[in-house]
């Protein structure tokens, strides 16, 4: 369970998170909102890239913000980025192993097995010694997902993990994401603009708009909520939280 209270981030005059309070219980949870709503900033806070000016985050009872970011990796925070971060010159297996090295299961004996299992889990059908630089966009996204699930993750943050892919490939990514909680026990947060992907993967969804939480609840109801629809159309001042 992730419990976020009064989380506030400021960059000069911009307040991308403004006293945000929300709880994600378990499974795969959606995080949606218009461009600039604060989704990536929220992930940056959880993964330690951005320090908030106020608020708290408890992850499975532990104070996440008190951990330096390198300890969060060992604790089990994983994330993917809107633009992929895999290292082009390294092989698929080396890229995944790099994350494993910083994980709780950091042992040489288990590393090879864990890396191969992660690659199989995401359905990557390319030889693990292939250089990432030679891969197409679908396979690069799958490498990112393998990096997110290897080595006992507890909190997996997926930032538009299928951006730019055609529908059929997005469906495959969705199938992988749906199975992450069952395979790893991790809580998954999926930030995305693709409502088909979000509704296919997430039982619960939260909606941010200009740093404020405007709705949280069962995904199908949230997506039909009039405040949410208006926020996406850009006509809602969006100050009231709707528990739907
Ligand atoms: N390092 C930074 N310095 C200054 N402003 C920033 C920084 N990072 C984000 N912002 C601003 O914070 C706001 C929220 O941005 P964020 O990237 O979190 O939105 P988002 O919901 O992920 O949007 P998108 O759907 O386009 O990815 C935006 O106004 C953005 O310009
Ligand atoms: Mg973003």
**Measured between alpha carbons, how far is 160 from 133 in angstroms, rounded to an integer?**
21
Q: What does residue 220 show for φ and ψ, rounded to 5 degrees?
A: -60, -40
Considering only CA atoms, which residue is closest to atom 4 of ligand 1?
11
Helix (H, G, I), strand (E, B) or coil at 82: coil
157 touches 78 (CB < 8 A): yes
Considering only CA atoms, which residue is closest to atom 15 of ligand 1?
36
- The CB of 36 under 6 Å from ligand 1? The reply is yes
pLDDT of res. 170: 96
Atom of ligand 1 nearest to the CA of 38: 18
- 185's CB contacts (< 8 A; 6+ apart) are 154
pLDDT of res. 101: 86
**Measured between alpha carbons, how far is 179 from 23 in angstroms, rounded to an integer?**
21
pLDDT of res. 131: 97
| Topology at the third CATH level for domain 2-86+153-243 | Rossmann fold (3.40.50)
CA 235 to chain CA centroid, Å, is 27
- 112's CB contacts (< 8 A; 6+ apart) are none
**Measured between alpha carbons, how far is 132 from 1 in angstroms, rounded to an integer?**
34
Helix (H, G, I), strand (E, B) or coil at 94: helix
Tell me the CA end-to-end span of the chain in Å, nearest whole number.
20
Considering only CA atoms, which residue is closest to atom 28 of ligand 1?
36
Residue ranges in the chain modelled with pLDDT below 50: 236-238
Helix (H, G, I), strand (E, B) or coil at 63: strand
**Measured between alpha carbons, how far is 95 from 136 in angstroms, rounded to an integer?**
16
**Measured between alpha carbons, how far is 77 from 148 in angstroms, rounded to an integer?**
9
Ligand nearest, relative to CA of residue 33? 1
pLDDT of res. 107: 63
Q: Which residues pair with 5 in a beta bridge?
A: 56
pLDDT per residue as tens digits for the range 32-81: 999 999 999 999 999 999 999 999 999 999 999 999 888 898 999 999 98
pLDDT of res. 241: 62
From 185, 239, 190, select the one nearest 42 (Cα to Cα). 190
Element (H, E) at 192: none
pLDDT of res. 20: 95
Side-chain-side CA neighbours of 147 within 13 Å: the count stands at 28
From 39, 77, 1, 37, select the one nearest 190 (Cα to Cα). 39
pLDDT of res. 148: 96
17 touches 52 (CB < 8 A): yes
pTM given for the model? 0.93
- The CB of 39 under 6 Å from ligand 1? The reply is yes
């Amino acid at each position: 369970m992730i419990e976020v209270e009064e989380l506030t981030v400021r960059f000069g005059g911009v307040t991308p998170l403004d006293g945000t309070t929300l709880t994600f219980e378990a499974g795969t949870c959606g995080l949606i909102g218009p461009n600039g709503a604060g989704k990536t900033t929220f992930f940056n806070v959880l993964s330690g890239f951005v320090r908030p000016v106020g608020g708290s985050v408890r992850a499975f009872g532990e104070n996440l913000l008190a951990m330096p970011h390198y300890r969060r990796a060992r604790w089990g925070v994983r994330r993917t980025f809107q633009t992929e971060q895999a290292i082009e010159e390294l092989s698929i297996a080396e890229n995944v192993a790099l994350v494993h090295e910083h994980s709780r299961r950091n042992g040489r004996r288990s590393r090879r097995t864990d890396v191969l299992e992660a690659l199989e889990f995401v359905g990557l059908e390319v030889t693990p010694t292939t250089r990432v630089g030679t891969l197409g966009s679908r396979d690069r996204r799958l490498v990112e997902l393998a990096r997110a699930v290897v080595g006992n993750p507890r909190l997996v943050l997926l930032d538009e993990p299928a951006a730019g892919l055609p529908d059929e490939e997005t469906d495959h990514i969705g199938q992988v994401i749906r199975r992450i909680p069952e395979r790893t026990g991790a809580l998954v947060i999926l930030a995305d603009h693709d409502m088909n992907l979000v509704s296919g993967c997430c039982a619960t969804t939260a909606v941010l708009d200009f740093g404020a939480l405007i709705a949280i609840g069962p995904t199908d109801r949230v997506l039909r909520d009039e405040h949410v629809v208006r926020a996406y159309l850009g006509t809602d001042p969006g100050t009231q939280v709707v528990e739907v």
